[in-house]
Structure 1
């Protein structure tokens, strides 16, 4: 009677799905009723394997009796297995699970990275299949201390995730914080990265990213060795490392592939780039409109001449061109690759030259803006560059009202704000996760 209830419940749950299959099948001397999605299961190959194993008497090698001692939990478990691409067989003896061969055209194979450019590193990238991604990490890090915990989150849309860390390297407080938050929010649907971050208890309105994302297995291996916890999500081709710290602005884990002096030089350049990206727009407004006396007289005259004929204050001038640059950046990212370079040329060359000749902005502003944009994109990670793009507006607006003192106060506020942040129970202003900066 229990089995009949399970079969009726499966039929009721999936009756509106045209790709859901429920049919009877004779295997040997036993009649089974099978349930599966034909869009997820390679049915012909699965049935051939089942018949082959049964005829050879190896039934236990491919099926396992599911625990359905409780009606509700058993139905939920079986429904979850079906949605994961498994084939369910029911008979008078019980309910059996067959881990069928999935459709080969659903998940793409391991390929080269699309959004990141690894230097002196392997050219493989994560795919949408979480099992393949876990295999990539396990293959690159052959260690018994590597721990992989899997669990399922969500109520309406169940999502499989994997928590990966290295025992005795990752801080216990970070592991406990992630485990506790995921257990607390296990029924929250996780369909996006933002859902995952919210499930981990991270602030909703944070300007600074609280995680590191990458599609490179090699980078995630280094993050694991540096004491971070990596989370994989099924059907996501990126991995997410926690916690994020301040040094992630200018350092990447792949820097360890370079000689030590090269590594120090590159990270120094990126740290200077972070400072310039935040301060240059605000400094331009300060030296033009609020505190021009800070410049030497010859330089002040040159700056004033560059704005000759511009009909509005330097703040409006800067905001106009910065917003135009933001639109060009977003258009370049969203458009197809064969159109993106054309938009960049039109926006960067033709429009930039025309707007200067029309006396709408000054030549010096274009120089400052280009320098700030280059410095911004010298940083590590798209999320970090987006955060810096937001910080520079805050600095520029405060500087336009209070001059050089406003610029200093804005920078102090940013430092204090970053000092107050904690990600997964770990201070954001830390310079190392495991306590050894030289290895990170």
Structure 2
């Protein structure tokens, strides 16, 4: 056994899934090295033996097995960690890095878990980048679909793939994203790390990209002059740039008549507005500006709050926070328990707080409408930041009433209008092929 084989054995001595297997070929000892958890050893070893039967010498065997020969120790260790099969001669004179038969560690193509297409394809992205790119190429059989691959981070390096349609995506946008990915040195462990890479602001909860698990939506975005990124071991596509109007439209909308499509998008816009102002509007008309209502409606609102010990602000804050907590609990809990929590939190708890005179029945209706309207927004990340912005408007309404709601909405519009993603204004209607946002 050569010195380098001994060195490899000591390097990975604490790894129980590491193997060193010895074979004899042409009076030469060959050592097969790798990880059992990443390599199907029996099938890979069978492949090596079959190639050995077709080879007359060790040099010919190495040539038939791989085009990566006689690399240095650093490359060999990196290849082993990446799940490759390394073959070394006993005298340390020759080595080769071989593509083995891998262990089946990937999911098959499944239905989407977080998005529900209506009358559309039911396949979804998985953790394997190559499969995800294949799902795109299956729908876009054109040479204009360009694919670039990057290695980002330090420990470990993550593979990121960039796809765009040549002649569609603006050259400035492609160059900007390419530069960001090539200059990335920090590790990309989470989706937020990728967002920070593209310049996410600490105090602006808007994401630089939209996220989808539907190949149909990714293809739709590519045709609309966008760039799509894939991160290894992440079953989503990241679409750049992300614009405000993306939360109103999806590729699935095109399955319906154009009039119905615009109706759906209008309802989503109303959903955003309702989610932002409904709790704030309740506070404004109950505590600051009741005079904006007709006298009979104002009396009805006052009667609904009769006997409530909490002020409208604390009453509304308590219910909004409680609903957000229930929403988070439903997301985190197993699917077998989630419906039970929904029933307890949505029906029993809501009825209980009304009967106990802790909140008014009108507020329960307002909170329910807010929750439903927030669910109409496209994209989980969009609904999350809309949920965050409503707290700011709610506080402003408790102090200034209707004027506070208008001021809060104006302030939100100013923030969103000043936000840029990849040097493209967030409030732009579309991206032209020449790179101008309109």
Settle same-fold status: TM greater than 0.5: yes
Query: What residue number does 1:71 align with?
Result: none
Describe the superposition over 1:93-139 as per-residue Cα deviations: whole angstroms up to 9, x where unpaired: 533121111112x1111111122211121111111122221221122
Encode CA deviations 1:359-397: one digit per residue, 9 max, x unaligned: 111111111111111110011111111111111111000
Counterpart of 1:98 in structure 2 is 98
State the Cα RMSD in Å.
2.0
CA contact (8 A) 1:80 1:158 kept: no
What's the counterpart of residue 326 of structure 2?
A: 328
C-alpha distance in 2 between matches for 1:393 and 1:52: 67
Q: How far apart, in 1, do the equivalents of 2:8 and 2:397 lie?
A: 63
Q: Which residue of structure 2 lines up, in the alignment, with residue 240 of structure 1? A: 238
Correspondence for 2:429: 431
- Paired residues for 1:180-199 under 5 Å: 180-185=179-184, 187-199=185-197
* Alignment partner, residue 287 of structure 1: 285
The structure-2 alpha-carbon separation of the partners of 1:205 and 1:36, relative to structure 1 and needing over 3 Å to count, comes to: farther
In structure 1, stretches of 5+ residues that fail to align are 69-73
In 1, the alpha carbon distance for the partners of 2:212 and 2:15 equals: 35
Cα 1:315/1:435, change in 2 over 3 Å: farther
Q: Which moved more, 1:76-85 or 1:383-392?
A: 76-85
User: Is 1:134 matched with 2:137?
Assistant: no
> Among residues 406, 409, 419, which one is paired with 1:408 in the alignment?
406
SS of 1:173's partner is helix
Which string of whole-angstrom CA distances, capped at 9 and with x for unpartnered residues, describes residues 189-228 of structure 1? Answer: 1121112222233324431222111111111111111111
Cα distance in 1 between the residues matched to 2:219 and 2:396: 41
Query: Are 2:84 and 1:81 equivalent residues in the alignment?
Result: no
Whether the aligned pair in 2 keeps the contact of 1:154 and 1:190 (CA below 8 Å) is yes
Task: Say which SS state the counterpart of residue 23 (structure 2) adopts.
Answer: strand
Contact map agreement 2:218 2:239 (CA 8 A) in 1? yes
Whether contact under 8 Å (1:395, 1:407) holds in the other structure is yes
| 1:13/1:188 CA distance change after superposition, 3 Å | farther
Distance in 1 (CA, whole Å) between partners of 2:433 and 2:266 is 20
Q: Is the 8 A contact 1:41 1:102 kept in 2?
A: yes
Specify whether residues 222 and 76 from structure 1 end up closer, same or farther in structure 2 by C-alpha distance, changes over 3 A only: farther
- Structure 1 residue 229: Cα displacement: 1.2
8 Å CA contact 1:154, 1:188 repeated in 2: yes
> What CA deviation, in whole Å up to 9, does each residue of 1:11-67 have, x standing for no partner?
565333221223433244543233211100011111111221232248545411257
Classify 1:160/1:323 alpha carbon distance in 2 versus 1 (closer, same or farther; 3 Å).
same
Give the Cα separation in 2 of the matches to 1:215 and 1:9: 44
Counterpart in the other structure of 2:68: 65
1:208-223 matches, within 5 Å, as: 208-223=206-221
Partners of 2:200 and 2:69 in 1: how far apart? 37
Q: Which runs of 5+ in 2 are unaligned?
A: none
TM-score, normalised on structure 1? 0.91
Match of residue 179 from structure 1: 178
* Distance across 2 between alignment mates of 1:150 and 1:203: 26
C-alpha contact 2:126 2:132 (8 A) present in aligned 1: yes
* Cα pair 1:328 1:344 within 8 Å, conserved: yes
CA contact (8 A) 2:198 2:208 kept: no
Deviation at 1:424, TM superposition (A): 2.0
Query: For 1:18, what is the secondary structure of its paired residue?
Result: coil
TM-score of the superposed pair, with normalisation by structure 2: 0.92
Q: 8 Å contact 1:328–1:347 — kept in the other structure?
A: yes
Conservation of the 8 A alpha-carbon contact between 2:280 and 2:394: yes
Of residues 340, 343, 346, the one that matches 1:345 is 343
State the distance in 1 between where 2:11 and 2:174 align: 36
Secondary structure class of the residue paired with 1:110: coil
Residue number among 363, 369, 393 corresponding to 2:391 in the alignment: 393
Paired residues of 1:28 and 1:54 also in contact (CA < 8 A): no
Shift in alpha-carbon separation, 1:120–1:39, aligned structure 2, 3 A: same
Are the counterparts in 2 of residues 19 and 39 from structure 1 also a CA contact under 8 Å? yes
Change (3 A) 1:287 1:188: same
Contact 2:150 2:181 in 1 (8 A): no
Aligned residue for 1:64, secondary structure, equals coil
